[in-house]
Amino acid sequence: MQEIQPKNGSLKLNQVKVGQSVRVSHVLGEGALRQRILDMGLTRGAEVTVRKMAPLGDPLEVTVRGYQLSLRKAEAACILVE
């Protein structure tokens, strides 16, 4: 599999502001983590809304496919959105 570089203008999910809605364009990484992210519905084209940050600023809460999901910033950084 060839390495896919972030395209110009594409953001990582952890850089999205709270309250904004975006679309997933690509999921980086490999193995268990990537599979888990895909399984939870963060696939290409899925619409994601960033709802809030945890009180201590790390995991974020997003709405995807009609439910609430929490993921760490490091994991959100694997998800390219537009």
- Kindly write out the interface string for residues 2-21 of this chain, putting x where it contacts another protein by CB under 8 A and - elsewhere: --------------------
Which of 40, 39, 50 has its CA nearest to residue 12? 50
Judge contact between 79 and 37, C-beta under 8 A: yes
22 binds another protein per the rule CB under 8 A: no
Please work out, in degrees rounded to the nearest 5, the angle formed at the alpha carbon of residue 44 by the alpha carbons of 18 and 10. Answer: 55
Q: According to CB under 8 A, which residues from 43 to 82 bind another protein?
A: 43-46, 52, 54-59, 61, 65-72, 74-75, 77-78
Binding site for another protein (CB under 8 A): 1, 26-41, 43-46, 52, 54-59, 61, 65-72, 74-75, 77-78
